[in-house]
Amino acid sequence: MTTLLSVNLNAIAQLRNRRDVPWPSVVGMGRIALASGAHGLTVHPRPDERHIRFTDVPELSKLINEEFPSAEFNIEGYPTDSFLELVESVRPKQVTLVPDEPAQSTSDHGWDFQANHNLLSSVVARLSKSGMRTALFANANPADIPWALDTGCDRLELYTGPYGSAHGNPVVLQHELDLLAATAQAATDAGLALNAGHDLNVDNLPALIEHIPELAEVSIGHGLTADALIYGMDATVKRFLRACG
């Protein structure tokens, strides 16, 4: 299967927010990414709106619906009332629930599925009733799979931060890769589809996909945006698409 590429626009929005001006345009960069072959866009509107603003979400939804109807819109976030009302107002194809505290600079761990079972089961049921696919952010831990499955979610998004940060240590990198593969196998055996994200780039993507051939989608922001500063968004998206196979 082909692993789909969703371009995370958070870093673009964070750059825009450094000044009281409308550039770089989040919608404009999203349009370039989709026109260059990306399969979708991802955003993570946090409560303090330090990068993606809540007002960006309907604008990006309109971009996809009117210009790229086959593309996917993936909205990530912690399931506060305001977040759930936002996603229900635009109904993206996928909602990825993450266990972020408001002060976190970025997502850095998956859910404790056992401790948050009632919350996640309730939210998954609510979103599924509205026709949205649900994905839950997950650590690389095969033992978590039964609890994750019991929430009723459609997919897991494997947190690949430890794998990405091990780039200078081949032994640790291989350990993290093996752990991700074992978790993916357990999830696949349980009938869950798989996404992945965090600190992925054109160098570490091929090995990840080789070890997890059933990987449906990767969401990439920081590494892709960094490369876009060098190569431009169009060429960068194409480089990442090649890395996805």
pLDDT tens per residue, range 171-215: 999 999 999 999 999 999 999 999 999 999 999 999 999 999 999
Nearest to 183 by CA among 110, 242, 95: 110
Buried/exposed code over 124-145 (b: 16+ C-beta within 10 A; e: otherwise): bebbeeeebbbbbbbbbbbebb
User: Which residue is catalytic, options 44, 157, 176, 217?
Assistant: 44
User: Which residue is catalytic, options 39, 51, 72, 76?
Assistant: 76
Q: What is the structure's pLDDT at 103?
A: 62
Predicted TM-score (pTM) of this structure: 0.96
Asked if 184 contacts 222 with a C-beta cutoff of 8 angstroms, the reply is no
Structure token pair of residue 85: 């009302």
CA angle 123, 132, 5 (to 5 degrees): 115
pLDDT digits (tens, 9 = 90+) for 27-83: 999 999 999 999 999 999 999 999 999 999 999 999 999 999 999 999 999 999 999
User: Which residue is catalytic, options 39, 176, 198, 217?
Assistant: 198
Q: What is the structure's pLDDT at 106?
A: 65
Does residue 175 have an active-site annotation? no
**Which contacts qualify for 166-173: CB closer than 8 Å, 24 or more apart?**
167/203, 167/204, 173/204
Alpha carbons 221 and 219: distance in angstroms, whole number: 7
The answer, yes or no, to whether residue 105 has pLDDT greater than 70, is no
Q: What is the structure's pLDDT at 107?
A: 66
Instruction: Select the more confidently predicted residue: 226 or 107.
Output: 226
Alpha carbons 75 and 85: distance in angstroms, whole number: 12
Does residue 198 have an active-site annotation? yes
DSSP code at position 3: P
pLDDT digits (tens, 9 = 90+) for 120-160: 999 999 999 999 999 999 999 999 999 999 999 999 999 99
